[in-house]
Structure 1
Amino acid sequence: MLWPGTLIGAGAGFFIASIPGAMLGALLGQALDRRLQLHSWAHLLERIGARPVLRNDELLFVLLGRLAKSAGRVTDRHIEQARLEMRQLDMAPAAQKRAIAAFNRGKSGSDSLRGYLLRLKAQPHAAEGVLRACWRMILADGQAAPQQRELVVLWGGWLGWPRQRVLALGGEHGARQKPLATRSGTYQQSLMLLGVSDASDPEQIKRAYRRLLSRHHPDKVAGTGAGPAQVREATEKTRELHQAYALIRERRGF
């Protein structure tokens, strides 16, 4: 990993006082790196431009925002998945605001992420958690676009994961998804899930969807004192409802 302050300090010190100057400059530069958390040239450029360096929780949502946008358009299901990630992390209101800002920042695609991920490589559990969250975001829309898959493979490489291992992790998450209301499911299954029929008008379908979403919302379930397993079930149910409603809307054209 390149520490910009250390390298700049060593170079400047060598120019001024040869090897002793380089050693002193490197020590001073290292102190600056640690104080400003400069672990890549991209971070140095961010500091020069007065752009804040990303925290670990912000990094996650920048990645999720970039993945969502890389498919071409950020959908409601992408946004809901980001909210589910916030809830699973039990984020306080202030942290949620930072996460939302980071998600929007990720959509711009302007951050250099390599240095951040190389640093995270030293934390294997955190690295795996990030990759799992990335796959959940990719699959929130029902299928992985090629550009999304290549992005997460690239990031996995920076985190020390070989390509096949990253793809296998995606397959593991894909297998967990129930195909009830995806394109491989059926329109009739989606209607049954929402408790409506083909004769129901759009407003009836919307009301049924919102009612069920409110009933099974993970926040509401968690508020009743339910355990982690029940919250996960509610999260999966919410995903199914989103997929069913999206399929019905596409089929009915509203």
Structure 2
Amino acid sequence: MWGKILGFCFGFMFGKIFGAILGLYLGHLFDKSLKNNFDKAGGFSSLFSGDDVHERQALFFSSCFAVMGHIAKSNGRVSEIHIKAANLFMDEMGLKGEERREAQHAFQSGKESDFSLKETVHDFKERFAKRNDLIQLFLEIQIQMAFSDGVLAEQEKQLLAEVSKQLGISKTHFAFVLKRYQAEFNFRKQQQRFNQQQQSQGQSSSYREGSGHHVPPNNNMNRAQALALLGLNSDATQRDIKVAYRKLMSQHHPDKLVSQGLPKHMMELAVKKSQDIQAAYEYLKKSA
């Protein structure tokens, strides 16, 4: 607003009507640029105390595990695979003692018959309004839980679609996120198989500098897999690949997500997703 006002005034002083119009336009561009930078910095949340960030992190933490527990029980009972996946998730986050008990309690609450999925997701959405990257990551975590046994049951898919709807995510974007995670899931399984094969052969897997990923020397990933991981089709151009890569890396940047309310314990999740995206992009660059 102030950019437009000042631009109009200075423009009128030096160029009358024409100058005022030009100043108004330049002021508009300034305001828009300032707003974008402000949003990237965390919006008004950057003006709040650290306690506010901690409150958002606590809500993300409890809501995430509660909804995970609800989805895990969508088939009527929580399987051993889902329990193992939840515990593995807690291990990856380094949860111990009271923090782990809090996660387990939230997971258990999501399994209860009186658990309100709609209310829980609505409260989460209200607290993280306009934090689209965090909202999408929340959905991705729920998809990860549903995929923990390698199969997405119809009940799980329906629940995920309901969570997506309550989060304000369109059906089209939900389908995009779901398809991209399937590619990410397959990629990680492939990496695990490769590493196990290398270990059984007494060989050390090669390390791609800067990516944090163990990548097969023969690039054991085809173009279709790499494109799918970036959410692209086979007809994607190099420009499409670069744009998709930059967008996904921005969405999953760990430091930015933590500043917006992602619990620091979950930072490793964002790091792993960034590494997968990086590995796919590097493969596509070399295979071009």
TM-score range, shorter chain: 0.3 to 0.5
Give the TM-score of the pair, scaled to structure 2.
0.42
